[in-house]
Amino acid sequence: MLSELIRHGHGLRLLSLPKGPLPLHCMGTGAGFERRFNEAYSWEGTKRGAAPFALIQHTIAGRGELDFEGTRHRLEPGDTMLLSLPHRHRYWLAQGESWEYFWITLNGREALRVARAVLDAQGPVLRPGREAVDRLAASCLTLMQGGVPIGEASAAAYSGIMAVHDGALGGAAEASSLPAALLRVQRHIEQNLSDSLGVERLAAVAQLSRAHFVRLFTASVGVAPSSYVLEQRMARAERLLIATDSSIAEIAATCGFPDANYFGKAFRRTRGTTPSAFRATAMRGEM
């Protein structure tokens, strides 16, 4: 569904639906797929009215910035930002940067209840899996296409917030079984895929000796640290190949590969095809 949303193209729609005979506790109020680059773009959570609503915004490419109650977050490809408004936060596009994302806004008692529960448990920046992102993209596309009946808008909004719920909390029991040091390392990897992520550096993040870190990571996660890093880089590369028109060299750099040639060899070895062929297949909708 993410690839279908991308093929649909950039745009946005604000929904102003008449009230139905029954109160609906989760309702979509807007959706969009946008790209911002080198422009003034900034939203403050205390200046968007008094009526409560939730925002879900998923980064496809580029980078955004979020200040949430005084803590700075970097929003990179694969990150989903969840906010409940009104609230003390600001998100913006840094000067000279670009940011491509899709979003939905929603209101209603159930939408806000789930959003606040996820925020309390995981914070405003989430890293959902591909299935959850596809469900969220499907919700966005439904709301963007227009002519949506009240019930369908509510169903799309509910599907979107529950995709966020499942992406954030569906694997919480499994994730919590990992030692805190390894959770810290996983988050460091997610946030720094374009940088060098050698075992020595990861062991330092975990505050463990190199040998102890490798043994603990492999036993707990099921693969060696280097294999885990490679798979995260491949997963991000797949998203960028599908979601952007960035060159192979640009994607290689973003995902931490020294050059396009090395990236191409690694992609073929792990995915059985070249990056260009993978992109072409995705754009034809054959995946």
pLDDT digits 0-9 by tens, 234-271: 988 888 887 777 899 999 998 999 999 999 999 999 99
Whole-number pLDDT of residue 173: 43
Pairwise pLDDT comparison (14 vs 216), residue with the higher score: 216
Backbone angles phi, psi at 162, to 5 degrees: -75, -25
3 state SS of 148: coil
Q: Which of 273, 272, 186 is nearest to 223 (CA)?
A: 186
Dmax over CA atoms of the chain, in Å, equals 64
Show the CA angle centred on residue 273, arms to residues 272 and 278, nearest 5°: 130
Checking if the pLDDT of 176 tops 80, the result is: no
Average pLDDT over residues 59-67: 94
**Alpha carbon 214 to its chain's center:** 28
Average pLDDT over residues 225-242: 90
Backbone angles phi, psi at 225, to 5 degrees: -55, -45
Whole-number pLDDT of residue 171: 56
Whole-number pLDDT of residue 69: 82
Whole-number pLDDT of residue 233: 92
Checking if the pLDDT of 213 tops 80, the result is: yes
Instruction: Give me the helices (H) in 123-223, please.
Output: 130-144, 150-169, 172-176, 180-191, 199-206, 210-221
Question: Where along the chain do its domains lie?
Answer: 2-173, 178-283
Average pLDDT over residues 114-120: 89
Whole-number pLDDT of residue 175: 45
Average pLDDT over residues 37-64: 91
Average pLDDT over residues 108-113: 90
What pLDDT digit, counting tens, does each position of 193-208 carry? 888 999 999 999 999 9
Average pLDDT over residues 118-137: 89
| Beta-bridge partners for 280 | none
Of the ranges 38-42, 185-189, 225-229, which is most confident? 225-229
Pairwise pLDDT comparison (136 vs 280), residue with the higher score: 136
Whole-number pLDDT of residue 24: 76
CATH superfamily, with its number, for domain 178-283? Homeodomain-like (1.10.10.60)
Q: Which CATH architecture has domain 2-173?
A: Sandwich (2.60)
Q: How many residues does the chain have?
A: 287
Q: Which of 27, 33, 29, 36 is nearest to 4 (CA)?
A: 33
Checking if the pLDDT of 30 tops 60, the result is: yes
Average pLDDT over residues 100-110: 93
Whole-number pLDDT of residue 147: 75
Q: How high is the mean pLDDT of the chain?
A: 88
Checking if the pLDDT of 75 tops 90, the result is: yes
The gap between the terminal CA atoms of the chain, to the nearest Å, is: 11
CA distance 251 to 7: 20
Average pLDDT over residues 84-98: 92
Percentage of the chain beyond pLDDT 70 is 93
Q: Which of 33, 259, 226, 31 is nearest to 146 (CA)?
A: 31
Token pair listed for 170: 């569906």
- pLDDT band for position 1 (50/70/90)? low
What lies within 8 Å, CB to CB, of 207 at 6+ separation is 181
Do residues 189 and 255 lie in contact, with contact meaning Cβ atoms separated by under 8 Å? no
Q: Is this structure's pTM higher than 0.75?
A: no
Dihedral of alpha carbons 35, 41, 45, 47, sign: negative
CA distance 73 to 267: 29
Q: Which of 238, 277, 272, 242 is nearest to 255 (CA)?
A: 238
Whole-number pLDDT of residue 286: 53
CB atoms within 10 A of CB 115: 23
Token pair listed for 263: 């990236």
